[in-house]
Amino acid sequence: PLWLGVILFPYGWFQAVHSQRHGPPEVVIPLRVTGTGFGMKTKDWLSYRMHFGGRNQVINIKVNSHFLSRHFPVFTYSDQGALLEDQPFIQNDCYYHGYVEGDPESLVALSTCLGGFQGILQTNDIVYEIEPKRLSTTFEHLLFRMKSEETQLPPMKCGLSDEEIARQLKFQSGYEGWWTHHRLLELAVVVDHYRYLHHHSNTTAVQHEVFSVVNGAHKFLKSLDVDVVLMGLEVWTEKNPISIKKSGLVEAFCNWKKASFNMRLPHDVAHLFVKQGYGIDLGLSFVGTVCNYNYNCGVDSFRYGNVYSSAYTVAHEIGHNLGMLHDDKTCKCGNNQCIMYAYPTSATRFSNCSYASFMNSIASQNCLNFPSNTGKSFTLARCGNSVIEEGEECDCGALHLCMKDPCCESNCTLSPGAACASGLCCKDCQILPTGEVCRQEENECDLPEWCNGTSYHCPEDVYVQNGMPCKGGGYCYEKRCNIREEQCRNIFGKEAKSANQSCYTEINTRGDRFGNCGLMNGGYIKCSILDILCGRIQCDNVIQIPLLRDHSTVHWTHINGATCWGTDYHFGMTDPDIGDVKDGTACGPDHICVKRRCYHRAHLTFFCSPKTCNLKGVCNNRQHCHCNSEWDPPKCLKRGSGGSVDSGPPPRYKRKKMRQTTNSLILLWYLAFMMLLCCLILCFLAHKRRAKRKEPNVSPTHEYEEHNVKT
């Protein structure tokens, strides 16, 4: 059965927005600082110094850009009652999460979309709400201290009675799993007509309020390792399609949602934000129905609505949807009261009881494990969504992005003189010439691609055919050469190596988080003897335990004289699994691991082989030949420049350049030889002249003497 969790509050809690604020506000001026004394990584983080609570505080904040769906739809209604859908520009870089430096338990959730800071600060167990001071010319802000439970008006009692809590606990299924860490909650929000009128019929103002509230609620829920993604928004701009009277409201909203909303927008939880107050009732929701598409709903009343109280209410009601009940005296969170306390508090944390209820509720449910496939839900094509669609030459996105784009106009046409605006084969608004490499090969199992000179697109990425041998005894698979020994070294250091086969036999046949052949239906698959080498990697000769990511566990086992080291992996972890044997790893002679099974290579169907490529190339993943640089596709039979029918044309000047280089070398050798020959000839002639000069001139003397004798 389903139980309706109702938070009941006395009317006085709503009488004024400032009924939760303690005393006059402090006036603060946030000052930007460029660094901190604690060595915080400054990338993507901003730091501001403020003086409040009698001391200087440094606030570190980072954009929370992932709490809005990428293609965010806003549903409204025409004056004729027709449903309208729009995907307006959403500024998603002005919502921040962060912390107060020096306080690891602090919490910050702010918005700067409207200029200045607006949101929640919590430090030293004190909650503040900050907002810009109107008409200030010096960036002044007002900082209100929220009342604690001791200073609240008389205590309120929740409508979920102790008897109902006891009955609810009987229906909680026994927890057979274990903590599965990261979850993704997809939230849809509907805003009633009176809340829309409260914002002067301004849909943009409604959006900002919803985003600020969800940003704050998201920060509360992150302590559970739950990320909230706002999938879409509907505003009842003309009228409320259901009665918003207190009696039966949450059931009526659920029925409307089933009939009119479920098919339009994927979600794990849908909440209705209303303007109307209900006396002592602030919120209503079903308990433990987050994965039940018919009852995963709640109603939140924002009668006045400051950010903290609204975000607190939404987080509390979502807590009920996640299976949480109200805290009793045994529940602790570090404060006197926690978020799921039955009375209103200034809490920002969930208790140990809330954690336990959450774990029990979702142990056997998978709707929070993975994001919805929203590709079919958002099909609206329009200029300005950063996606080039039919009829568009380019799409530079929002107006402020188009102002910085020299190639694309805001009307999705190319700028004068531009031939392209995007793509790997586009540079300086012009298409790159044929033969320019646009994607280099990453490793020996990858192949390069080149531009064709007519398109700004780089050809689709192709790589060496799966199952082809690569260095180290492995096989190429999905562009990687995976080797068992190398995987051990990557995890445990350069001295590590693959463990004895007895480790694989003993551990991977267990079917637990340390040894298995995959996950299925919330459990672990035991490896068969044939597949033990394709389960989880087992290593030996580990010198030092590595520093791994959070929630990762290293195991050490001694089996029959063999030492076995490995890592775990389980549901809910979002980091890549470093300990599963990678596809393409060898598991025997001519055997290869594929999806935790050990297959003979013949299992991989090959229509292309090295013989197909005349032994002058390799086969790619499309079973086409990628020829060596001296041969042309498709079969590498003729001399050419290499590549494949899929890679684009490689540069044709390679062989010509090689021939030019060879000819140049021959010419240089010829010139050098001729110069040497000339030098030798000149040297010979010079030597001959010198020899003639040294020879004695005796012939005239003889003639003279002979002449004298005759006379």
Bind-site residues for Zn(2+): 316, 320, 326
Pairing state between β 480-482 and 474-477: antiparallel
C-beta of residue 457 within 8 angstroms of C-beta of residue 466: no
Instruction: Indicate the DSSP class of residue 678.
Output: H
Structure tokens at 259: 């009939």
What are the DSSP E strand ranges found in 135-209? 141-146, 183-191
Could you give the CA distance from residue 514 to residue 538 in angstroms, rounded to a whole number? 10
Could you give the CA distance from residue 6 to residue 286 in angstroms, rounded to a whole number? 8
Could you give the CA distance from residue 66 to residue 371 in angstroms, rounded to a whole number? 12
Tell me, yes or no, if 176 is annotated catalytic. Answer: no
Could you give the CA distance from residue 336 to residue 152 in angstroms, rounded to a whole number? 14
Structure tokens at 193: 């007509």
End-to-end CA distance of the chain: 162
The partner residues of 86 in beta bridges, in order of sequence, read 74
C-beta of residue 221 within 8 angstroms of C-beta of residue 318: yes
Instruction: Indicate the DSSP class of residue 458.
Output: P
Cis preceding linkage at 634, omega within 30: yes
Could you give the CA distance from residue 322 to residue 325 in angstroms, rounded to a whole number? 9
Q: What DSSP element (H or E) covers 121? A: strand 118-123
Could you give the CA distance from residue 414 to residue 407 in angstroms, rounded to a whole number? 6
The partner residues of 520 in beta bridges, in order of sequence, read 523
Could you give the CA distance from residue 495 to residue 472 in angstroms, rounded to a whole number? 16
Spell out the residues 6+ positions from residue 426 whose beta carbon is closer than 8 angstroms to its own. 407, 419, 420, 432, 456
Could you give the CA distance from residue 280 to residue 157 in angstroms, rounded to a whole number? 9
Q: Which residue is catalytic, options 129, 209, 317, 436?
A: 317
**Nearest to residue 460, comparing CAs of 618, 646, 621?**
646
Q: How far is CA 204 from CA 90, 209, 328, 381, 547, in A?
A: 10, 9, 41, 21, 47
| CB-count exposure of residue 704 (10 Å: 0-12, 13-18, 19+) | exposed
Could you give the CA distance from residue 314 to residue 228 in angstroms, rounded to a whole number? 12
Could you give the CA distance from residue 52 to residue 57 in angstroms, rounded to a whole number? 7
Burial 469-486 (b: 16+ CB within 10 A, else e): ebeeebbbbebbbbbbeb
The binding site consists of 316, 320, 326
Could you give the CA distance from residue 460 to residue 443 in angstroms, rounded to a whole number? 17
What's the order of all strands across the beta sheet hosting 539-540?
497-498, 539-540, 562-567, 554-559
C-beta of residue 243 within 8 angstroms of C-beta of residue 208: no
Spell out the residues 6+ positions from residue 6 whose beta carbon is closer than 8 angstroms to its own. 158, 159, 160, 281, 283, 284
Could you give the CA distance from residue 517 to residue 535 in angstroms, rounded to a whole number? 4
Which residues are part of the catalytic machinery? 317
